[in-house]
Amino acid sequence: MKVEKLPDRCALAPLFASGWELVADRDAIRKTFIFRNFIEAFGFMTRAALWAEKWNHHPEWSNSYKTVAVVLITHDANGLTELDVKLARKMDDLAKG
């Protein structure tokens, strides 16, 4: 299924307000989540992974102790799509607990 790039960049404004930022030299967004400990960070990744799998949209991410660094891009579109906005919002919600 062909996925189209995000037609309206206004959808990114609320994400920028919550700490997401554009990645230099890529049509992607990133955010670093910091938790109280490794268990909370890993729990966040586990919950996010279930949604990513359900939506067939998988992040680029890494974990170091209590920190989770996330980059979202739709590889099939070589840029940002509604899927990235949707997953970013979900990750923000999941990080709140």
Domain boundaries, the chain: 9-96
Q: Please report, to the nearest 10 degrees, the dihedral formed by the alpha carbons of residues 75, 72, 61, 58 taken in order.
A: -60
Supply the pTM of this predicted model. 0.94
> So what's the pLDDT on residue 60?
98
- Read off the pLDDT band of 43 (50, 70, 90): very high
> So what's the pLDDT on residue 25?
95
- Taken in order 58, 21, 89, 33, the sign of the CA dihedral is positive
Let me know: does 37 contact 83? Beta carbons within 8 Å.
Answer: no
HSE value, Cβ hemisphere, 13 Å, CA-based, for 82: 6
**Superfamily for 9-96?**
Transcriptional coactivator/pterin dehydratase (3.30.1360.20)
Q: Look up tokens 């062909």; give the residue.
A: 2
The token pair at 41 is 């960070």
* 70-86 residue pLDDT tens: 999 999 999 999 999 99
Least confident of 3-12, 16-25, 26-35, 58-67: 3-12
- Read off the pLDDT band of 2 (50, 70, 90): confident
> So what's the pLDDT on residue 1?
59
Asked if residue 66 has pLDDT above 80, the reply is yes
